[in-house]
Chains A and B, each alone.
Chain A
Amino acid sequence: MDDEMIFDPSLKKKKKKKTGFDMEAALAGEPSETTSAEVPAETGDVDVPEDDSLDLDNFGKKKKKKKKTFFNLEELESALPEAKDEAPPAEEPEHQDEELIDDLDLDIDFTRTKKKKKKKNLDEIFAEEDVRGGEEQERDEDQNGEWHGSDRDYTYDELLERVFDIMREKNPSMVSGKKQKFIMRPPQVVRIGTKKTSFANFTEICKTLHRQPKHLLDFLLAELGTSGSVDGNSQLIIKGRFQQKQIENVLRRYIKEYVTCHTCRSPDTILQKDTRLFFLQCETCGSRCSVASIKSGFQAVTGKRAAMRAKTA
């Protein structure tokens, strides 16, 4: 069982990576897939001009979209063999740090040792950008010259470059913004006796995330399938034995769903309750989307049978 526990988080990591890239994959898949999806739609219209057929075509489109994103996921995965290989099954803290650094899908860091590497990364990126920018400028000048000289049409690539140059110029934070990370202290998880776990900095983490402790509490307990409460020292006592890494996994999922904006991934968001639904309002890009409500769902009876019978009787 312990072996399983150790291996499990790394397995989950990989999984997460997949879902983490989902957005980008979907975005990347969109231009090509809309064009491909339009073809059957058009032929469908020609064959049968009924309204029903249109609906069916739309359905086809939906299905195609899903399929496409899956392909993209696989492609992405294969395109990122390093990241995958580097996820070690071992539990050493050093490795863990590395793993976290590689884990770009969620813009969260539970470590502070990371900064060094991040800086390096950023520097590299800037360096790359500089080089690229330089090249592009040169090319741009050439092209601009060409455009001015003749009255030929722009090529697609030229236009694309032009647009990106303007974007970089007007919005320099966008270039580095992608790597902007959300640095957070790791959860302090300590075992209490044999059956309980303490999440010591639970309240502190709630504060950093700007979320109600009750909301995070509900999520944690629902995901872990257990019970627990905040004690007088503002630490969370959870029934059951959990490792720091496991709590961290659940926290990552919480942040992904309820903290970072689903559109721009900015952590500067507000969670609002509207009638029965929760909405995530982004302060950076202004997007607003509904998020899943927290449901613990089915809970199996695990206690001793005798105790259970005594309760019901």
Chain B
Amino acid sequence: MSIQNLNTFDPFADAIKSSEDDVQDGLVHVRIQQRNGRKTLTTIQGLSSEYDLKKIVRACKKEFACNGTVVEHPEYGEVLQLQGDQRENICQWLTKSGLVKPEQLKVHGF
């Protein structure tokens, strides 16, 4: 039997890591952007790179009946893009599936 408390484990390791790179503030930013005319686009930035975003986008497309894609950004990493205003949908879905804690979500826009 191993005693867990004797293991060298730094509980703040994550905190240090996230403060090092300024971009990943540990939050998932959900934004909305207007496209030409009355169309909109929802972007989700900051999802953990441990998740397979391709799978997530596939599930979202089916669930919200909208198109979507994964964009690789040099600074922000993989970003999810969905057509239309899916902010409410994606927030519910991400918390319900347990991928993101509600307090990690930061919704922007009007």
Name A residues whose Cβ lies closer than 8 Å to a Cβ of B.
Answer: 1-2, 4, 8-9, 11-12, 15, 48, 50, 52-53, 55-56, 59, 66, 70, 194, 222-226, 240-243, 246-247, 249-250, 297-300, 302, 304
Contact = CB atoms under 8 A, between A and B. Distances in A.
B81 A297 contact: no
Instruction: Give the secondary structure class of B's interface.
Output: mixed
The bracket for how many chain B residues form the interface is: 20 to 34
Given A1-B39, A297-B29, A297-B31, A225 B109 contact: yes
Instruction: Give the secondary structure class of A's interface.
Output: helix
Contacts of A249: 110
A15 B109 CA distance: 13
Contacts of B100: none
Contacts of B110: 8-9, 12, 223-224, 242-243, 246-247, 249-250
Contacts of B107: 15
B34 interface: yes
A302 B35 contact: yes
Contacts of B32: 225
Contacts of B9: 52
Contacts of B71: 298, 300
Interface of B: 3, 5-7, 9, 11, 29, 31-41, 43, 45, 71, 73, 76, 79, 81, 84-85, 88, 102-103, 107-110
A74 to B, nearest CB: 12
Q: Which 10 pairs between the two chains have the least Cβ-Cβ distance?
A: A246-B110, A225-B33, A240-B34, A298-B45, A1-B38, A298-B76, A302-B35, A52-B5, A298-B79, A53-B5
B36 A302 contact: yes
28 contacts: A1-B38, A1-B39, A1-B40, A4-B85, A8-B85, A8-B110, A9-B110, A66-B103, A222-B108, A223-B109, A223-B110, A224-B109, A224-B110, A225-B32, A225-B34, A226-B33, A241-B34, A246-B110, A249-B110, A298-B76, A299-B33, A299-B43, A300-B33, A300-B41, A300-B43, A300-B71, A300-B81, A302-B41
Nearest to A53: B5
Contact of B73 (A55, A225, A298): A298
* Residue among B33, B76, B84, B88 facing the most chain A CB atoms (10 A cut-off): B33
Contact of A297 (B5, B76, B88): B76
Nearest to B76: A298
Contacts of A226: 33-34
